[in-house]
Amino acid sequence: MLQLPIITRTALLLVSLATLLAAAPAVAQENTVVRLEPVALVLQPGETKEVTVWIDGVTGLAGAEVHLTYDPALVEVVDADQDVEGVQVAHGDFLPPDFVAVNQADSEEGTIDYAVALMPPHEPVAGSGPLVVINLQGVAPGETTLAISELLLADSNGYPIPVAKELSTAVVTVSSNQLFPGICWPWGAVILGTAACVVIAKRR
């Protein structure tokens, strides 16, 4: 049985999601997929790009909890809300964040913890959409995997919604290669090629 942090379990009790940790019957769904988009990302040190936790083909979604891991020596999470203490990820617009049990990125451990549930008058959602948007910034050259380590989806009764696919990962590469600044390819290639031809012509 999947065990979650105590703080998360306590928070989910308040919104009737505690039965996710009990032997509750699963909702009959076969096509729900949770994935990371994109599955591959290339960054320069200091450059920032988005990775989205995306839910596909769900029905009756009322709560979600996701935990991710990454290498903090290579990338870091950019804070999505500087008015709140700590480092947060951005809420997606698929599930209303009426009750946010936890939203925290730990830059030392390389973990992201996020749990959210909708509250009345909002109704459970169906379809596809972004759950979380993570802004990653390159720190040092290397390759790491942003991986979903734990995941729970729940309906309005607290029953777990099964996910069809294995836990998703995204390969993040921080490159040390720097292109010529100020030159925009492919025009840069044309300019450099022309310059090379001029040099060769002069030598002749």
Q: Number of folded domains in the chain?
A: 1
pTM recorded for the entire structure = 0.75
Domain that holds residue 26: 6-178
CATH of the domain at 102: 2.60.40.680
Would you tell me how many other CB atoms lie within 10 Å of the CB of residue 149? 13
Residue 80: both structure tokens together: 């999505």
Does residue 1 belong to any structural domain of this protein?
Answer: no
65-74 pLDDT, tens digit each:
999 999 999 9
For residue 162, list its beta bridge partners.
none
CB 152 within 8 A of CB 64: yes
Does residue 190 belong to any structural domain of this protein?
Answer: no
Does residue 199 belong to any structural domain of this protein?
Answer: no
Positions of the chain with pLDDT lower than 50, given as ranges: 1-4, 6-28, 179-201
Does residue 185 belong to any structural domain of this protein?
Answer: no
Does residue 189 belong to any structural domain of this protein?
Answer: no
Does residue 146 belong to any structural domain of this protein?
Answer: yes
52-88 pLDDT, tens digit each:
999 999 999 999 999 999 999 999 999 999 999 999 9
Q: Which residue in 144, 19, 170 sits closest to 73, CA to CA?
A: 144
| 8-state DSSP, 163 | -
Does residue 203 belong to any structural domain of this protein?
Answer: no
Helix (H) or strand (E) holding 149: strand 142-154
